[in-house]
A = this chain, B = another copy of it.
Amino acid sequence: MEETGALLRAIGQRKTGLASKDFLLTWEQTREELEQVLDIAQVMKIMREKNIDTRIFNSGLGISVFRDNSTRTRFSYASALNLLGLTQQDLDEGKSQIAHGETVRETANMISFCADAIGIRDDMYLGAGNAYMREVGAALDEGFSQGVLPQRPALVNLQCDIDHPTQSMADLAWLKEHFGGLDQLKGKKIAMTWAYSPSYGKPLSVPQGIIGLMSRFGMEVTLAHPEGYDLIPDVLEVAQRNAKASGGSFRQVSTMEEAFRDADIVYPKSWAPWQVMQQRTMLLRNQDTAGLKALEQHCLQQNARHQQWHCTEEMMKLTRDGSALYMHCLPADITDVSCEAGEVAASVFERYRIATYKEASWKPWIIASMILARKFADPAAVLTRRLQEAQPRIKC
């Protein structure tokens, strides 16, 4: 257990404020706090590999609120709760009375009497998803301070309109594993680029999450997209500021080729322009189906002009030694596999397929770590006791 010993010492020595703030945007956490989350995730992953029971809770609920479809995050959140000993309870807004005019603060309390964690996905409405999470958080604070709730549940952002912190932190954990440490990331070139997809309306949270997080670790971050496919301006400023502070860089270029040149890591992925997402939010709010159809038509036509934004073998040859690490949050639009023309060529994707699975495999651990760090002021002590007891997960 030397492996865990060093990690636990690092976890124990850090002074972080994780126990008193929700994980809603990575750039609200200090670098120490981000490292804390990575280390806790790693300890728990090792524990499970060694068949050591990772549960901290004997009972307790973990609530999920999915306001958009999800497979990966849904299963990762369910896994994280299970690793901690919590039981998932989904708030299905269709089945509930929420549509009947219930206020957010009331619902937040009603579902939390026995809840130790709440995870929310709300990425459809620009300007609203992250705000909704903060509203829930404030309601939980009030409920706890007024004696309604016996505990303050940890609140985790499972993807909002601005950031996708469980994804970007899992991506970071994967980069740390792949390159052999966070210090190895310093100076590495990462290309976050738009890529063509035959669909439209994909959220901005992944590219924004990536440039907002990778710029914290001294990486050379390049963002590339066709003209007009802008991200939220505030997040660009965040990335700029982060890069400066961490000794890295952040720049924008206008072709995939330019971004890929000498890159150590490439992350080609489709998204809808910020301006389109704003229009779409308004149309969704007004339930303007005709307007949404017209917007989709317009956007698909616009997308079609950018089919050359395609992660091909030729494109990959531009990267460092022709062998940059390909990343994707999945599912990717794979040319000739899931669509006629998409984000990535089949041969490129196939070469990195297992790597993208490993990238994704960090998510349960990252989410479990975020919850654990939010609930316990001294996570090293909690984990140490679990390791000392070393109850087997499987009683074989």
**Residue A331 contacts which of B69, B75, B97, B113 (CB distance < 8 angstroms)?**
B97
Produce 1/0 per residue, A377-396, CB < 8 A to B.
00001100110000111111
Given A102-B338, A150-B48, A110–B75 Cβ distance below 8 Å? yes
Does A294 touch B at the CB level, under 8 Å? no
Q: How many residues of A contact B (CB 8 A)?
A: 75
Does A289 touch B at the CB level, under 8 Å? no
Does A208 touch B at the CB level, under 8 Å? no
Q: Is the CB of A358 within 8 A of B147?
A: yes
Number of copies: 3
Produce 1/0 per residue, A85-106, CB < 8 A to B.
1011101000111101111001
A378 (CB) vs chain B CBs: closest residue: B396
Q: Is the CB of A71 within 8 A of B331?
A: no
Produce 1/0 per residue, A299-338, CB < 8 A to B.
0000000000000000000000000000000110100011
Does A49 touch B at the CB level, under 8 Å? yes
Q: Is the CB of A79 within 8 A of B110?
A: no
- Cα distance, A271 to B29, chains bound together (Å): 49
Q: Is the CB of A59 within 8 A of B69?
A: no
Q: Hey, which chain B residues are within 8 Å of A138, CB to CB?
A: none
Produce 1/0 per residue, A57-101, CB < 8 A to B.
111110000100111101110110011010111010001111011
Q: Which of A344-396 contact B (CB under 8 A)?
A: 353-354, 357-358, 360-361, 363-364, 376, 381-382, 385-386, 391-396
Does A143 touch B at the CB level, under 8 Å? yes
Q: Hey, which chain B residues are within 8 Å of A72, CB to CB?
A: 97, 110
CB distance from A73 to the nearest CB of B (A): 10
Does A111 touch B at the CB level, under 8 Å? yes
**Residue A55 contacts which of B49, B58, B354 (CB distance < 8 angstroms)?**
B58
Q: Is the CB of A106 within 8 A of B330?
A: yes
**Residue A58 contacts which of B91, B143, B385, B394 (CB distance < 8 angstroms)?**
B394
Does A238 touch B at the CB level, under 8 Å? no
Given A150-B48, A354-B148, A361-B148, A393–B76 Cβ distance below 8 Å? no
CB distance from A83 to the nearest CB of B (A): 6
Q: Hey, which chain B residues are within 8 Å of A353, CB to CB?
A: 106
Does A166 touch B at the CB level, under 8 Å? no
CB distance from A348 to the nearest CB of B (A): 15
CB distance from A366 to the nearest CB of B (A): 12
26 A/B residue pairs, CB under 8 Å, sorted by A: A48-B114, A55-B395, A56-B395, A58-B391, A58-B392, A59-B85, A60-B393, A61-B78, A66-B95, A69-B97, A71-B96, A71-B102, A71-B111, A72-B97, A75-B110, A82-B87, A83-B114, A100-B199, A106-B331, A106-B357, A109-B357, A113-B364, A143-B357, A148-B361, A382-B395, A382-B396
